[in-house]
Structure 1
Amino acid sequence: MAKVYRGYDLTLGREVAIKVLDPELARDTAFRNRFRLEAQAASRMSHPSIVRVFDAGDPSTSEIGSDEPPYIVMELVKGTLLKDIISAGPVPVADAVRYVDGILEALDYSHRAGVVHRDIKPGNVMVTDKGQVKVMDFGIARAVSDSSSTVAETTQIIGTAAYFSPEQAKGEPVDARADLYSTGVVLYELLTGRQPFRGESPVAVAYQHVSETPVPPTEVNEEAPRTLDPIVLRALAKDPYQRYPDAAHFRAALDSAMTGNAPTRKELGALTSELYGASPRQAQETARSLRQLSTDTTMTRTQSGPPVAWIWAGVALLAVLLASVLFWVVTISMRPPEVSSSSRIIPNLVNVSSERAQDDLAGLDLSSKIVIETSSEVAEGNVIRTDPEAGVSVEEGSTVTLYVSAGEETVVMPKIEGMALGDATNALKAAGLELGTVIQRNDKALAANTVISASEKAETELDPGTVINLVVASGKVTLTDLVGWTVDAATTNLGDLGLVAVPAETAECPATQPATVHSMSVAPGDVPVGSSVQIFFCTG
């Protein structure tokens, strides 16, 4: 979809990679706009495991105008594509886990920034000469897919279907869990040397992603550790809600699996049944066998059947018996019940107002007793049920209990914004609500684990057990790369982020005027609020 050139940034004095988009794609105005927005979103991410986007341009939007295609300027990474590492031969388990952990670290950061990759595959992951994992092309998959007019065009542009999530294959909206599915496919390929689903066409592979059960990695490669089988199966769940909720949970499970005990075959079978159904493969084999039997004309009977006259006689006898039983049941049901003059039949009072129900019972010389219950199905003030039930015969003067609805039971959402996560959890539990997903967000003004917002507003009436998702402060801020900035501008930027700037001289390089930042004591990325950052400027 693009050509990549190595370039040199004259202003900041560094090598860069320049990706120039294919002219066919560039002719689509919608794609240009979407690509520009996604490039802006990707440029705001600064993480060691993500290939940085420094700049993006679209000559058609300039004052003079141009037919040149859009381009993006990125960090130049020297290393090897993960795709080439896999094709070179078996990957050691420790390296496979390290590569996937690096991918998940990048996804954890990007998902918290609100950016979904949509095209995680070995061709978009690079391993540097020092062994660091770098994930590329954030946002480009969305720019392409949202601007493509047909499924075939989208598939052709984005690449192989071997790493699609089921929701991508079905054309449904995707979220961060689609990236986790694709990462699970990459982990499977690293452990076994092949993808979990293969076919003669992309459509065949996409169908398998939607409906087929993957074979555990250890059944393909006996040398793969059994402790990773549950991790892979959970990541490849068809239902996004059965996968790991986020990349952090995936990383934690991967880390604990490397030090935990291997699951038994029974435990692995139970997990497969939970995620993919009882036995979809066995069901498919049975259906295939039945189809073959139904169409096989070469099979001949080897045992004679019973005489035809006996068969028809049995059918006739069975029909007479069924007709006789049906006639007897209808006759019994139509016979009027024998009741004494002092007996009363309880009428059907369900969903009748309590006042009318009491009047109806009083007209039958029966007394009533009211019991209040909550109900989500019967309107407030109406009868839920009676004791005895409708149709039961009771003596005159008997008491009938009326269970009357008090309406649906609700609880009130407490105000938890600004509370610590532990206190907010206790408040939700005390209110009868469930804590759902907790997403961390950088906020320089709030301490770590302080609740920023909740999925439901305070004082809202909710059903008991409603799941409440929270956004809490991470206690960190994102430090950008300040190399090349003036010392004054860098100091101001660090102060705005809630960080302490500590200028320091270094005579290892020629002095500049004004003084510019040569290096930093802290690498770009998320750092705790209030941290001190040394910014070195040249005095040589």
Structure 2
Amino acid sequence: MSTEPQVIAGRYRVDELIGHGGMAKVYRGYDLTLGREIAIKILDPELARDTSFRTRFRLEAQAASRMSHPSIVRVYDAGDPSTSDPASDEPPYIVMELVKGTLLKKIIAEGPVPVADAVRYVDGILEALDYSHRAGVVHRDIKPGNVMVTDKGQVKVMDFGIARAVSDSSSTVAETTQIIGTAAYFSPEQAKGEPVDARADLYSTGVVLYELLTGRQPFRGESPVAVAYQHVSETPIPPSEVNEESPAALDPIVLRALAKDPYQRFPDAAHFRAALDSAVTGAAPTRKQIGALTSELYGPNPRQAQETARSLRQLSSDTTMTRTQSGPPVAWIWAGVALLAVLLASVLFWVVTISMRPSEVPSTSRVVPDLTNVASERAQDDLAKLDLSSKIVIESSPDIAEGNVIRTDPESGVSVEQGSTVTLYVSSGEETVVVPKLEGMSLAAATEALEKAGLQLGTVTQRNDKGLAANTVMTASEKADTEVAPNTVVNLEVASGKVTLSDVVGWSVDSASKALTDLGLTPVPIEESDCPATDPATVHSMSVAPGDVPINSSVELRYCTGS
């Protein structure tokens, strides 16, 4: 027995399942109103039971729907049935662009990715992030499962805004990981449950680049918590040491993207892209340069400490080694001597450093950090940690999200004295206007209302309607009382003031009269005695030709009554 397909919101037909993840199932669908194929993501019912999540989800989906970029999967619509019916248990849904291609996750699983393709995929991700970050939207869940490569090779990033709604609803790292997916792409600040900004997306992109170059993630463990710990405390091995075919020129790019401290990463996606482009065409760094960068980003000589610890663990746990002499093996003795020498050298270096340190009071200067697009609360906390005061000045900005820092005074990188005040210019968001109610107005009145509201009149389409006077607004492309950007174009559909008259010649006078009356026209039967009568009387001519005629028009219906 066939079943009728599900239709959401009266216009979105749900067809076959095409994908699923930890948060939702994705179906192929069809927009019955606009006549186009779509993808419909329906959220997991368990996740949707949290009313606070529904609210966050709706707001984040609305933010994502305002983004339009070739490298971002477009969000057309989002809905929550509970907003119109509080008793409804239907989960929220998202209507998206249907992209025909392959998930980057599947491409990686099929085998090694050529370096040129790896760079192109990451460049596409960064292009999308550059746009979204300037729009004030942080993704928070960049991973190969959220990146699609179309049949033409174009990169498309999806699920913008959803991860924030999820992570804000989760109290622990383990809980967030369970909902969003693997912790392999978490930034250290996400793993520690701290507030995140755009630089968290750059870290996750660095993990994706690492996996493309080496075939595996930089950190792996038996549980999400173990992986999260490594993101916070462990040093990644340069990609070229894992895969000899990975260019050494890309090692510094990956290491900087994976810096634990957000301030040591690339300041934004544009700088990441520029560095990636330069590395592809530039010379490979020396091992000494890589070592210096690793020391700068992750602490002095971390690899030696890791290798020493690994060797000691192996020596203490290896049960396959057999003793061939009564005393300790020679290799063990030399290993102990080398370890002791390293420890003594470290202590001596520490003592000399302490003795050479000047006795004067340490410098009280502080360097203003880069706080662009950082939440104002986080920016104030960062300044407080540097013993700097802060002052808030509110400004509107079309590029920076509401509540985030536009710029600072003094600028980032400037040295100031401890206790100085740094002015934070915080965005009040993009200026918006309210769409007036236009339905039922005359076209002239609607045009005036749009101008007063700061909006622009777009295309005007006419449609026949027997009940409306000419140029009466029937529908508008933007709903009344919604907030939109100034100068948004609003298209109108207005009544033409006409109806379509059919050819009723040959009809009976009664049938023709009824048809005209149904159209809102006035039939006027006219008897003509100079032609033979018919039974029943039929119309032999009309005073108005068939086609569009003004509403309420009179139409003569001539018929014969002669013998």
5 Å matches for 1:141-290? Answer: 141-287=163-309
Secondary structure, aligned partner of 1:455:
strand
Q: Is the 8 A contact 2:410 2:422 kept in 1?
A: no
Q: Which amino acid aligns with 2:241?
A: E
Give the drift of 1:100.
0.5
**Paired residue for 1:455?**
408
Task: Tell me the distance in 1 between the aligned counterparts of 2:141 and 2:206.
Answer: 13
Q: Is the 8 A contact 2:135 2:398 kept in 1?
A: no
Cα displacement string for residues 480-503 of structure 1 (whole angstroms, at most 9, x for unaligned residues): xxxxxxx9999x99999999x999
Cα displacement string for residues 385-434 of structure 1 (whole angstroms, at most 9, x for unaligned residues): xxxxxxxxxxxxxxxxxxxxxxx999xxxxxxxxxxxxxxxxxxxxxxxx
2:86 equivalent to 1:133: no
Structure of higher RCO (CA pairs closer than 8 Å, 6+ residues apart):
1
**Paired residue for 1:124?**
146
Task: Tell me the distance in 2 between the aligned counterparts of 1:246 and 1:276.
Answer: 20
Give the drift of 1:121.
0.3
Task: Tell me the distance in 2 between the aligned counterparts of 1:209 and 1:237.
Answer: 9
**Paired residue for 1:59?**
81
Q: Is the 8 A contact 1:441 1:471 kept in 2?
A: no
Gap change, CA 1:376 and 1:184, over 3 Å in 2: closer
Task: Tell me the distance in 2 between the aligned counterparts of 1:62 and 1:244.
Answer: 44
When normalised by structure 1's length, the TM-score is 0.58
Secondary structure, aligned partner of 1:278:
coil
Secondary structure, aligned partner of 1:258:
helix
Q: Which amino acid aligns with 2:408?
A: S
Cα displacement string for residues 435-480 of structure 1 (whole angstroms, at most 9, x for unaligned residues): xxxxx9647xxxxxxxx9642499xxx945979799899xx99xxx
Q: Which amino acid aligns with 1:264?
A: T
Q: Is the 8 A contact 1:112 1:441 kept in 2?
A: no
In structure 1, list runs of 5 or more residues that go unmatched. 304-374, 378-407, 411-439, 444-451, 478-486, 504-510, 515-529, 536-540
Task: Tell me the distance in 2 between the aligned counterparts of 1:497 and 1:261.
Answer: 54
**Deviates further, 74-83 or 216-225:** 216-225
Secondary structure, aligned partner of 2:39:
strand
Q: Is the 8 A contact 2:42 2:92 kept in 1?
A: yes
Task: Tell me the distance in 1 between the aligned counterparts of 2:75 and 2:297.
Answer: 38
Give the drift of 1:95.
1.3
Task: Tell me the distance in 1 between the aligned counterparts of 2:422 and 2:313.
Answer: 49
Q: Is the 8 A contact 1:100 1:187 kept in 2?
A: yes
Give the drift of 1:284.
3.7
Q: Which amino acid aligns with 1:455?
A: T
Task: Tell me the distance in 2 between the aligned counterparts of 1:301 and 1:203.
Answer: 44
Secondary structure, aligned partner of 1:119:
coil
Cα displacement string for residues 149-180 of structure 1 (whole angstroms, at most 9, x for unaligned residues): 44332111110111111111122221111110
Q: Which amino acid aligns with 2:133?
A: H
Q: Is the 8 A contact 2:406 2:426 kept in 1?
A: yes
Aligned residues: 373
Give the drift of 1:118.
0.8
**Paired residue for 1:78?**
100
Secondary structure, aligned partner of 1:273:
helix
5 Å matches for 1:362-401? Answer: none
* Amino-acid identity (%): 78
2:43 equivalent to 1:90: no
Task: Tell me the distance in 2 between the aligned counterparts of 1:281 and 1:23.
Answer: 46
Q: Which amino acid aligns with 1:195?
A: Q
Task: Tell me the distance in 1 between the aligned counterparts of 2:287 and 2:215.
Answer: 23
**Paired residue for 1:114?**
136
Secondary structure, aligned partner of 2:281:
coil
Give the drift of 1:195.
1.0
When normalised by structure 2's length, the TM-score is 0.56
**Paired residue for 1:358?**
none
Secondary structure, aligned partner of 2:28:
strand
Secondary structure, aligned partner of 2:120:
helix
Give the drift of 1:102.
0.8
RMSD: 4.7
Task: Tell me the distance in 1 between the aligned counterparts of 2:278 and 2:162.
Answer: 33
Gap change, CA 1:134 and 1:470, over 3 Å in 2: farther
Gap change, CA 1:150 and 1:229, over 3 Å in 2: closer
Q: Is the 8 A contact 1:454 1:468 kept in 2?
A: no
**Paired residue for 2:124?**
102
